[in-house]
Amino acid sequence: MKQFRRCQRILILSLLSLSVLAPIVFVSHRLKNLASFGRKEFIEDLSTIKYRRDDLRLKAIHQETGEGLKEPRLVVYKDKDPNSAINFSSSKDNRDLKSSVTGGDTSNVLDNRNENDYDKEEGDEQVQQRVTSYKSGEKEHFNSHLLEVTEEKTKETRNVQHNLARHDRGVRSQSQKATDEKIREMKDQLIRAKAYLNFAPPGSNSHLVKELRLRIKEVERAVGEHTKDSELSRSALQKMRHMESSLSKAGQVYPDCFSMATKLRAMTHTAEEQVRSQKKQTTYLVHLAARTTPKGLHCLAMRLTSEYFALEPEERQLPKQQKLENLQDPKLYHYVVFSDNILACAVVVSSTVSTVAEPEKIVLHVVTDSLNFPAISMWFLLNPPGKATIQIQSIDSFGWLFSKYNNPTLKQDSSDSRFTFQLNHLRFYLPEVFPALDRIVLLDHDVVVQRDLSGLWDLNMKGKVIGAVETCQKGEPSYRQMDTFINFSDRFVAKSFDINACTWAFGLNLFDLQKWRKHNLTAVYHRYLKMGSERPLWMAGTLPLGWVTFYKQTAALDRRWHVLGLGYDSELVPRDIERAAVIHYDGIMKPWLDIAVGKYKRYWSKHVKYDHPYLQQCNIHE
């Protein structure tokens, strides 16, 4: 009995060893046969061997290039683990491969794979013969094991076929993606047809000329405003074929390629000239629109002016403007705006008051010209800024400006009235305009205040005169260099200023008026203004004069105080706009114009009272 059990164990161990060694022998035999027809380079690097699946012979599915032949996984399975079925392949290892061989090599590979299949069948028969030598109990266990292996292999094969079918659908869906190849081809046909028409004698009415003109009309209607081939109708493609036939006829009538090339070059040159002309005209019209007062604003100014003069003189005074102690109190927060635009002033005042924590502590000074003084005064009589104090002044009330400085803005030569406008240059006289104040914040009329600005008065300016956001960071849309507006080819300019000095922007600026008076910067401004009128030192406007007047007198503010570019850059980061204390519509696309950047206009529009009767009567709406 013991000898029988011993023989039984020996037999079982022998069969297990055979089941492990047999796959290795089979794989080695297959690799040997595969290498028999190949070159020696394939043996040196098995990872480069490409093969085809058996279903390639049936041409059932288009095959793809694989990653190369991989070695078999050497795994030993225990009899006690019936779930450890052999994983012949995985979805990753069984991706379809596209053969890299062509011609006769393909047939050799297929023949060789047939031989390998035959060897595999022989190996299967040998396994079956060995299986029959088992005893009945061992035979049943091994058969159940083979059944599990077969079922898992079938499942793997189905997964591979499913992946192949899904990939095939993906390839077909990609091929069906909309393109514009047909659209461009049809436009090229139009250009060629027009070129051939130019070869025809003037007044020619031949059959070919009529046909080309007809085809041009058909193709132009077919293309229309379409941008994708999928938008074209079947008739459009038919017209495209008809056009190609007509072009072939024209090519036979006019076979001179040199004349065709010359004509196409002439047409290209003409088209480029037209594009340049259109760009110039567009630029001119945009700048003209920027300098022109919209009809609605003109209507609003007229209505408010007529209402203002209809009031009695004592009724024209703003309620809190009579509190002179507030207007000159240096302990309060003072803001100044220089503008002749009613809606712009209204938005600046409204946004500033709506964001401040203590409106009773702020004083808003609006300085305008004599023409718009009645209209702006009437607007704030009808729409007072709550608890805040507001003062409206006219530039004509500053008699010292003309007697002491003799109308300095006339010294600048510019065709753009914005650069020589007196209100723009009045910012260089802040100590004279507000002699009782120590600090003041200057706001341009094209800004919107989104945060409380009271914190500016607590900033340490380190002895500087002006606080401003810098514009010398490369890569930013607002980036400016000193030589952008200043002529550094002049010896005086090159000696007095550093071309690499950091620039800054107007729009939101904090001024220390005490330091200003100490350095007498208004006199510096006048000296540079006079020099600039004698020779071209800098471009007209207040910004280059500000750079040279406050040179080395500028304290940098955090960029979150002031975000620029809403009047010319449509690619600003929305997060930067939302968190900014002040957003600035610098540039020509102002928010009250039709040419404004649409997605930025809502920040400005929410402070405009579009339901006001005067705005509705003047057709001013969002």
Q: Where is average pLDDT lowest: 22-36, 369-383, 545-559?
A: 22-36
Determine the 3-state secondary structure of 424 from DSSP: helix
Same domain, yes or no: 458 and 419:
yes
Cβ burial 63-92 (10 Å sphere, 16+ → b, else e): beebeeeeeeeeeebeeeeeeebeeeeeee
Tokens read off for 380: 């704030």
204: left (phi over 0), alpha (psi -120 to 50) or beta: beta
**Range of the structural domain that residue 212 is part of:** 181-289
CA distance 458 to 548: 26
Other Cβ atoms within 10 Å of 116 Cβ, number: 17
Give the total number of structural domains in the chain: 3
pLDDT score, position 440: 97
pLDDT score, position 224: 85
CA distance 97 to 50: 7
Same domain, yes or no: 63 and 154:
yes
Q: Of the residues 289, 323, 340, which one is the last residue of a structural domain? A: 289
CA proximity to 541, closest of 430, 414, 429: 414
Judged against a pLDDT cut of 50, whether residue 603 lies above it is answered with yes
CA distance 320 to 391: 8
The bridge status of strand 466-468 relative to strand 508-512 is antiparallel
Residue 175 lies in a domain: no
Residue 137 lies in a domain: yes
Q: Using one digit for the tens of pLDDT, what is the confidence trace for 156-200?
A: 555 555 555 555 555 454 444 457 888 888 888 888 888 888 877
Judged against a pLDDT cut of 90, whether residue 612 lies above it is answered with yes
pLDDT score, position 540: 80
pLDDT score, position 388: 92
Same domain, yes or no: 310 and 424:
yes
User: Over the Cα atoms of the chain, what is R_g?
Assistant: 43
Tell me which of 226 and 34 has the higher pLDDT: 226
Cα 257–Cα 262–Cα 265 angle in degrees, nearest 5: 125
The bridge status of strand 562-563 relative to strand 389-394 is unpaired
pLDDT band at 380 (very low <50, low <70, confident <90, very high): very high
Q: What is the mean pLDDT of residues 489-493?
A: 93
DSSP class per residue in 604-617: HHTTS-TTSHHHHH
Ramachandran angles phi, psi of 328, nearest 5°:
-120, 10
Tell me which of 58 and 340 has the higher pLDDT: 340
Residue 176 lies in a domain: no
Distances (CA, A) of 438 to 1, 216, 510, 519: 117, 74, 11, 14
Give the domain CATH number at 531. Answer: 3.90.550.10
Same domain, yes or no: 228 and 334:
no
Residues 6+ apart with CB under 8 A from 96: 53, 61, 63, 64, 66, 164, 167
Tokens read off for 142: 């091994």
Determine the 3-state secondary structure of 14 from DSSP: helix
Same domain, yes or no: 344 and 425:
yes
pLDDT score, position 66: 43
Residue 273 lies in a domain: yes
Same domain, yes or no: 578 and 602:
yes
Judged against a pLDDT cut of 90, whether residue 40 lies above it is answered with no
Same domain, yes or no: 164 and 97:
yes
Q: Using one digit for the tens of pLDDT, what is the confidence trace for 275-313?
A: 999 999 988 888 888 888 889 999 999 999 999 999 998
Residue 613 lies in a domain: yes
pLDDT score, position 417: 61
CA max distance for the chain: 135
Tokens read off for 569: 């850059």
Judged against a pLDDT cut of 70, whether residue 93 lies above it is answered with no
Residue 193 lies in a domain: yes
Q: Of the residues 226, 260, 289, which one is the last residue of a structural domain? A: 289
DSSP class per residue in 46-57: GGG-----GGGT
Judged against a pLDDT cut of 60, whether residue 211 lies above it is answered with yes
Residues 6+ apart with CB under 8 A from 120: 26, 30
Q: Of the residues 108, 136, 170, which one is the last residue of a structural domain? A: 170
Judged against a pLDDT cut of 80, whether residue 87 lies above it is answered with no
Partnered with residue 583 across adjacent β-strands are 448, 563
CA proximity to 388, closest of 438, 343, 348: 348
Tell me which of 358 and 71 has the higher pLDDT: 358
Same domain, yes or no: 595 and 500:
yes
CA distance 76 to 138: 18
433: left (phi over 0), alpha (psi -120 to 50) or beta: alpha
The pTM assigned to this predicted structure is: 0.61
CA distance 54 to 547: 79
Same domain, yes or no: 159 and 196:
no
Same domain, yes or no: 12 and 92:
yes
DSSP class per residue in 147-214: HHHHHHHHHHHHHHHHHHHHHHHHHHHHHTS--SHHHHHHHHHHHHHHHHHHHSPTT---HHHHHHHH
Same domain, yes or no: 262 and 194:
yes
Residue 588 lies in a domain: yes
Residue 13 lies in a domain: yes
Q: What is the mean pLDDT of residues 146-162?
A: 56
Q: Using one digit for the tens of pLDDT, what is the confidence trace for 553-600?
A: 999 999 999 999 999 998 999 999 999 999 999 989 999 999 999 999
Q: What is the mean pLDDT of residues 522-546?
A: 90
Mean pLDDT value across the chain = 78
Same domain, yes or no: 330 and 265:
no
Sign of the alpha-carbon dihedral angle for 57, 60, 61, 66: negative
pLDDT score, position 459: 93
